[in-house]
Amino acid sequence: MFTIDFTIKNTAFPMSVQRKTAEDAEGVYQQILTAMRSGSSEIIELKCEGKSEKKIAVRASEISGMQVTQKEGATAGGNRPPGFFALAAE
């Protein structure tokens, strides 16, 4: 499963959707990237494949960052904190 996280301006937490294949995740990534580059205020609507009831609608001009990650195995979700940044304890 692939997760596409994106941050919204003036919002403390990221939004995310999931895709089952790398190709689908790349398609969503490119769709959002194209909309961000256009600078328009078009609304992007996305549905999550991991949670079929989850839907997101956001203005492209409000997206400030995005990342794609792959969940590897049953425990990978516990190893990655939510969001974009993680601090390593020494």
Confidence of residue 4 (pLDDT cuts 50, 70, 90): very high
Structure token pair of residue 63:
């997206």
Helix, strand, or coil (residue 32): helix
Q: Give the separation between CA 61 and CA 42, rounded to whole angstroms.
A: 8
* Residue 63 β-bridge partners: 8
Write out pLDDT tens, residues 49-70. 878 788 889 998 899 889 999 9
Structure token pair of residue 49:
């494949």
pTM over 0.75: no
What are the structural domain ranges in the chain? 2-73
Write out pLDDT tens, residues 12-36. 888 889 999 999 999 999 998 998 8
List the helix and strand counts (H, then E) for the chain: 2, 5
Backbone angles phi, psi at 37, to 5 degrees: -65, -30
